[in-house]
Chains A and B, each alone.
Chain A
Amino acid sequence: MEVELREAPFDPAAELAAFAAPGAGAVVTFTGVVRGDDGVERLEIEHWPGATEEAIAAMVQEARARFALSAVRVVHRHGTLQAGEPIMMVLAAAPHRRAAFEAADFLMDWLKSRAPFWKKAHRAGSAAWVEARSEDEAALSRWGDGRGPASTVS
């Protein structure tokens, strides 16, 4: 399964161990973690059931078209996450490192701004929706025409 959306926690080490990439000479992984440094106790991640999976699948398809990948996988959680817990993980395998690095970078840029997720940060006694960062939006233009899988949420 190339795309997995889940509520339950996952173990990045187990994900890497289970990531089968026949013929790959390079595996790049990125793990996003709930930051606990600014008083955030937990994160609530809302998604759009059905559309979120479709949007990520389109990104994965685009990554496969752009980079010579042996295997690729995206795991992303939703629901309530505690500080320090992994939020998501991208795994990209390729015959050579460059394609694996670039595919992981590409997928992260698109996941940040075009995968239907909304985060709400809970601190002691308060909660606030996390605002999108303009740097994240700007990062999409790194990938050529800026379209990629972006014109759709699905």
Chain B
Amino acid sequence: MIEVLYFAWLRERTGLSRETVETQAATVADLVEELRARSEGHALAFSDLRAVRAAVDRRLAGLDAPLAGAREVAFFPPMTGG
């Protein structure tokens, strides 16, 4: 079980700020593939991965990052603070 968080337009497109996912995905990319199949909104959210950043257990992670033992994965666009 992994808690998946969405921010900004990923939240808007999926229509969710978080969801719990039953998954055996080995990497972030594998998880993305599974999430894409969940709804049209999910597919739209992940249609251009160049614009998506991920954090595994609050640590920035690439698509190839392993998910072994991960509890939380967040997806968001590049941050715009300041």
Which residues of A come within 8 Å of B, CB atoms? 32, 46, 48, 51, 54, 76, 87-88, 108, 111-120, 129-132, 137, 150-154
Closest B residue to A116 using CB positions: B79
Q: Determine the chain B residues whose CB is within 8 A of the CB of A137 once the complex forms.
A: 78
Docked complex: B31-63 residues within 8 A CB-CB of A: 55, 58-60
Given A46-B8, A48-B7, A129-B9, verify A119-B80 contact (CB < 8 Å): yes
Which residues of B come within 8 Å of A, CB atoms? 5, 7-9, 11, 55, 58-60, 74, 76-82
Given A48-B7, A120-B8, verify A153-B60 contact (CB < 8 Å): yes
B58 lies within 8 A of A51 (CB): yes
Docked CA distance A113–B53 (Å): 12
A115 lies within 8 A of B81 (CB): yes
- Within the complex, the shortest CB–CB distance from B23 to chain A, in Å, comes to 21
Closest B residue to A56 using CB positions: B81
